[in-house]
Structures are given as structure tokens and as C-alpha cells.
Amino acid sequence: MTDGARPATAPGPTPREAATHCPYCALQCGMTLREEDGRVAVLPRQFPTNRGGLCQKGWTAAELLDHPERLTTPLLRDPASGELRPATWDAALARVAEGIRDVQSGHGRDAVAVFGGGGLTNEKAYALGKFARVALRTRNIDYNGRFCMSSAAAAGMRAFGVDRGLPFPLSDLGRADTLLLVGANPAETMPPLVRWLTEQRQRGGKLIVVDPRVTATARLADLHLQPLPGTDLAVASALLHIALTEGLVDKDYIAARTSGFEEVRRAVAAWWPARAEVLSGVPVADLEATARALGTGERVVILTARGAEQHAKGVDTVTGFVNLALALGLPGRPGSGYGCLTGQGNGQGGREHGQKADQLPGYRRIDDPAARAHVAGVWGVPADDLPGPGVPAYRLLDSLGTPDGPKAMLVFGSNPVVSAPRAARIEGRLRDLDLLVVADFLLSETAALADVVLPTAQWAEEDGTMTNLEGRVLRRRALREPPAGVRTDLAILADLTARLADGRGDDASPPRGDEKGSFRTPEPQAVFEELRRASAGGIADYAGITWERIDAHDGAYWPCPDPDGPDTPRLFAERFPTPDGRARFHAVEHRPAAEEVSAAYPLHFTTGRVLAQYQSGTQTRRVPALRRAAPEAFVELHPDLAGRLGVADGEPVRVVSRRGEMVAPARLSAAIRPDTVFAPFHWGGAARANSVTNDAVDPISGMPEFKICAVRVERVETP
């Protein structure tokens, strides 16, 4: 060897790659995964929603695949020690099947409940709903998406006859002349979306944000309205009042495409701007500037999100902004419309195919005889065998272990110990169960309470589809097989169904009518083919969507009834999917929060997210880079309030409500109103924000009032 030459080496193995999507929010950013020498890297990918951009959560998503805390074997609770101990799959699933049979034989079919998640693929959401109704024959199923989009979904259904987060492509935001964001903070919740806001402003558009806090998104805005939490409906009513007074409404559109406007006109007549200012704190001048910007733009978009929706009047609040959009003639107008920023990764698809208590696949109502007959035909069971509607998520959770409530629950993809309102009460309900089964890949706070924990595959280890906030059905592609000892949710459901059929284990016969169905063949593509048939003719019709079509066109938008016909990127161009083709106005009236402040609880409490964490934090709190960026919970206080309390920045404080308390360091910031305190909800333990939140629910959607309750703040004396 001379002249510094190196010896020849054999080429290494070819890296494996998979074009897939981020496992977190409903933006579902495109990314490429590459595995080389046992390490998985996240690479940017050009996709219409994110155009190569990712947030810190997306860039670090692969770190969980080989995380040291990952579950790779089933766990069973030892009755003697009370500890969770490793077990075989056969022992774990036998315990689950035996427990289900014992509970149902003693208390009836509805004594077993199922709780799903908005991060499950369409295939898993569909299979979970089918499992509950066919294998268990229980009405008690719901999912954590009830805490996310349910108020906007209900408002959309009653106004438009359809619930799709954005009834137009995301790119329309970048071309809007005026964009109104109500209770939305995408700069922290889905950062790649901000490129559309930047594009919108670079084109000369006006961005207006409604939020009680000066969030990262509000700092981008041309105009920020900072109302008292719980007064968004008063703001919406005042904006429509101004639009009417100043002749900004589209009378021709109202006459041709809507019904019910006169009742709404009468309802908002009393909401003169000065009245709304007194109630909300938003100046009349800002209300007028907002109404004029909305009423004079050619392309105008109104978006709501959790800040407006997570209230006991969330449906009415969203309806107030839908009324405003309809009066201005926005839905169906090119480049304009009303939409909702869906939060969870599959919050849209997760509610379309059977996880919700009152729905069957295709967004069909479970109490509709025709819907029951269609789905029962696909499933091969008599329609009369399908159970009726269940109860929404919080009512279901709060009934667990009570004399008339479920005695067993199976949880897939959710962590209600952290995410549910009045969380200490719900934790107690879960402890009261005879059987709690949790399928997860990390030991969440809920899994830590379980009698049986089943280790499941992660997003990069199984194929499937997701439906993003635009109603675009996407392909999630597996990079590799799950680790040894880990099964997919579909395989778990198939095995449990077989065991429940006659108790003989893996060789048991499938349920009636399912000889070739999803219980016998738990392959994602086969399940999706069954989902297509079950959804055919429904509101969310996937019949014309195939995996091949998704691959060829960066996804497909539902409704898409014909494999050879078009999909539907934009809804409402010619008519609304209502019986008469018209959108429906609904008169709504502001009402106070379910719990108002008092001498004992003089402050308003609201919750939300931070950039580096996600949902209940089960995943993101275990990623070192994200933990460094947001290591702990905090309580945000205005400096004036902190001064009155004698609290310094960083000192621990206790937030106390009528339901419970949390303790976390104070963070002083002029971004919050002096009468309001804020805390993120990503942490459990003593810093669990949902120990404080109110469990009052919207009477229509079942959405809890996460975004406002009455509290007091106390200093925590430290040595």
C-alpha cells in the first residue's frame, strides 16, 4: 500500500427508506425515514402540506422507535405484589378474554367499554369500532377525539351537513386577503403551517388572531383581539352585527344558498359592539376593523380551533363564526370559506369510521336504520345485533366502576389519566375497574394503572392510512417490522376476537360473516378495502379511494365515491350536502362559562400547548431534545397579578379549583391577561393541569370545558 491508498472495502448494506408522514398533529407533514446501520434518520420530503418543512417534534420522531423505555413484552399485574410483570402473549390475551367474559356474563354486554384515540390509523379506528359492536356487542365506545374536534364537528354537521376540518386545501390560506384565526396557535401546535401564514402576509393579506394570550401566532398578526376566555361567541355576534349594520353581508348568497338567516339577524341585533366590548374586553375599534377586513376581502377564510371549541358552549361558539362566514358568503366561494384546524394526527379519520359513540363507518349515524343495515351487511351480522348509541367520552369515563357503569375497559392510543378533565376523579374511576387493558408502546400514566398492558407497534412499523385536517387521505408506510415480542393493534384485535368467539385461542372461528373480513385477515390494506365498502354512500365516502390512488396523487380527498371519478378537494362549490342543498343558519346566544369567578376563586384558568410537547406528553417527554426545550410545566401569570400575590418568576405556585389543584413554577409574562392564568396540559403528577379543569360538557357535542374555570393561585412555601 503506497501513496496513502486505502484498502478496498465491501459496500455496506443498502439503506432502507420509507416515504411516510409525521406521527404527531393533523397537518401530517410528509417525511422520509432512512434506516442505515441500525439507526433511523428523518429526512425532509416535499409534500403539499409542509413542502419539506418539519417542526422539532417531527425531526426527532424516530428517536422513540428504539427508546430504552419502549414496551416489548406484555405485562400482567401480579395479584400478590400488585406490580406489573412480564408475561407471554398467550397469558396476557387469555387474561383479557377471560376478564371480558366474566364481566359480561355478570353484568351484561355494556359492562365492557372501549376507549380509542385520534392517532390511530383509519384501519385501526375502523377495526376498533367493529370490535366493540360485533365482537363485544357493547354500545360503550368513544375516543379522545371527543376532547378535540367534537364541537366544531357538531357545528359543521348542523350548518353544512358535513364535518370536514378544512373543506378546501391548506394552500388556500396562503392566498387569503383576510384570514381570521379564532383560538388557534399554529405557530406552536403545527409550526409548518406558519409558512402559509407568512405567504399570506407577503401577498399583502391581513392576519387577525383572536386569543386571550399573546401567543407566538398572535405576534405574527396584523391585529390581535384579546378577549376574556369564554367570550368568543359575544365577539362573533358583534362582528356579524357590524357586518349587517355596515352592509357587508352578501344578500344574494344568503337568499340563494342558505336558510334560517332572519332568526340569526334578530339574535345579533342586540350585540352592538359596545356591549361586546364590556363583556369581552375587545375594543369596539378592533371589532369594527375586523368586521370590515372580513367583509371587504375577495378571498376570506375564518378558522376556529380548540380555544373557541373546548367550552360547554363550544358548539354554539363555533356556530356563531359559521353564521358570520355564511352571512359574508364565504363557504363555497373560491379561495374563501370556514374551517377548523383539527388537532390530533388522525382526528379527522378517527371519528369518521366508528370510534365515536354515535357513529358507524362513513360518518353514519348509528341510530339510522338504513346506516345500520348497510354496515351490518358489510360485517355479515343482523342489523338488530348492532348496539345503539353510547355516551360521549367524559360521561363514559366518569361512569367507570360505578354500579350502573362499565366494569372493564380496553384503551387503545389514549392516556385519559392526563388528558381527561377533572383528571383525579377519572384516575379514581379507572382504579375502580375490575379489568383495565391498555395497548401502548410506552408505559403511560394510564398504562401504569392497567391490569394488562399490551405492547404495540409504532407508526414506522406498520402500514395504514391517515386523514389529515384537509380531508386528504394519506399513506403511512412501514420502514421496518416491529421488534420481537410486539404486535400491531390489528393483530391484537383479531386475536381477541377469535378468543372471544369460543375461547379456544388462535384457532377459534371468526364471528359470523367475517370468514374473510378484518378479524380474520388483520392486514392493513385488507382492512382498508373493507372500510371502503362500509363507508360507501356515507357522508365520508372512501369507496373510490385506493392505496394505489393515494400513492399516485399525494393522497385523495373524501368524499370520493367512484374509483374512476374525481375526489373532492373543495366542498360546497354548487350545493351543501343537506336535504335541500342549502346551508343552515342557527341562532345562538352567548351564555356565561359553566363556572364563574368568585371571592374564593377570583381568577380565570385556561390551558393549552407548548411547541416542544404534544398531547399528554407520553411520547414527547421521553425525547431528550424536546425535554430540554420544554422540561417542565409552568403557570403563566401576568406580572401585575404576580406582584399582588408576592410571587417571583420561577417560584412554585399552586393553582386551586373546586375540583383539584396543580403545582408548577410561575412564569411571569405580559402575554396573559391580568385576570387569567394559563398552564400547558402535557404533564402528569402534581403538575397535571387537568386536575383543575372543569368537567362541565357541551350538551350537544359532549366537549368538556377545558378552556375556562375559576381558580385561585397560592404561593408554595419552600424551605
For the segment 384-427, what is each residue's pLDDT rounded down to a tens digit?
999 999 999 999 999 999 999 999 999 999 999 999 999 999 99
Residues 163, 270 share a domain = yes
Reported as a pLDDT band with limits 50, 70 and 90, residue 516 is: very low
Flag whether 691 is in a domain. yes
Residues 674, 531 share a domain = no
Cα–Cα separations (whole angstroms), residue 418 to 147, 414, 458, 684: 12, 9, 21, 6
Rounded to 5 degrees, what are φ and ψ at 599?
Answer: -60, -35
Chosen domain end from 530, 547, 564: 547
Strands of the 223-225 sheet, one edge to the other? 223-225, 206-210, 178-182, 300-304, 337-340
Average pLDDT for 514-524 = 67
Average pLDDT for 224-249 = 98
Range of the domain at 543: 75-147+346-470+482-547
Flag whether 577 is in a domain. no
The one-character DSSP state at 19 is E
Average pLDDT for 479-504 = 91
pLDDT at residue number 5? 43
- Hey, which residues does 584 pair with through a beta bridge? 259
pLDDT at residue number 149? 87
Residues 684, 622 share a domain = yes
Q: Which residue has the higher pLDDT, 521 or 169?
A: 169
Q: Is the pLDDT of residue 514 over 60?
A: no
Flag whether 307 is in a domain. yes
Q: Which residue has the higher pLDDT, 518 or 449?
A: 449
Residues 183, 121 share a domain = no
Residues 180, 126 share a domain = no
Flag whether 488 is in a domain. yes
Residues 522, 399 share a domain = yes
Buried b (16+ CB within 10 A) or exposed e, 481-510: ebbeebbbbbbbbbbbbbbbbeeeeeebeb
pLDDT at residue number 508? 34
Q: Which residues have a Cβ under 8 Å from the Cβ of 59 and sit 6 or more positions away? A: 42
Count how many domains the chain has: 3
Chosen domain end from 283, 318, 341: 341
pLDDT at residue number 6? 42
Of 314, 371, 361, 299, nearest to 156 by C-alpha is: 314
Say what percent of the chain tops pLDDT 70. 95
Handedness of CA 403, 408, 409, 415 (dihedral sign): positive
Residues 461, 335 share a domain = no
pLDDT at residue number 518? 60
pLDDT at residue number 719? 66
Residues 305, 223 share a domain = yes
Flag whether 379 is in a domain. yes
Nearest-angstrom CA–CA distance, 162 and 125: 19
Q: Is the pLDDT of residue 234 over 70?
A: yes
Q: Is the pLDDT of residue 509 over 70?
A: no
pLDDT at residue number 11? 54
Q: Give the cell for residue 674.
A: 391580568
Flag whether 62 is in a domain. no
Q: Look up cell 366561494; give the residue.
A: 333
Reported as a pLDDT band with limits 50, 70 and 90, residue 12 is: low
pLDDT at residue number 14? 74
Give me the CATH number covering residue 617: 2.40.40.20
Residues 496, 351 share a domain = yes
Reported as a pLDDT band with limits 50, 70 and 90, residue 573 is: very high
Which residue type, as a one-letter code, is found at position 527? V
Residues 118, 192 share a domain = no
Give me the CATH number covering residue 461: 3.40.50.740
Reported as a pLDDT band with limits 50, 70 and 90, residue 621 is: very high
Chosen domain end from 341, 367, 395: 341
Average pLDDT for 176-205 = 97
Of 55, 12, 25, 36, nearest to 625 by C-alpha is: 55
Nearest-angstrom CA–CA distance, 398 and 389: 17
Give me the CATH number covering residue 207: 3.40.228.10
Q: Chain-wide mean pLDDT for the chain?
A: 94
Flag whether 555 is in a domain. no
For the segment 127-161, what is each residue's pLDDT rounded down to a tens digit?
999 999 999 999 999 999 999 889 999 999 999 99
pLDDT at residue number 342? 87
Flag whether 328 is in a domain. yes
pLDDT at residue number 22? 97
Residues 523, 426 share a domain = yes
Residues 451, 506 share a domain = yes
- Hey, which residues does 179 pair with through a beta bridge? 207, 301
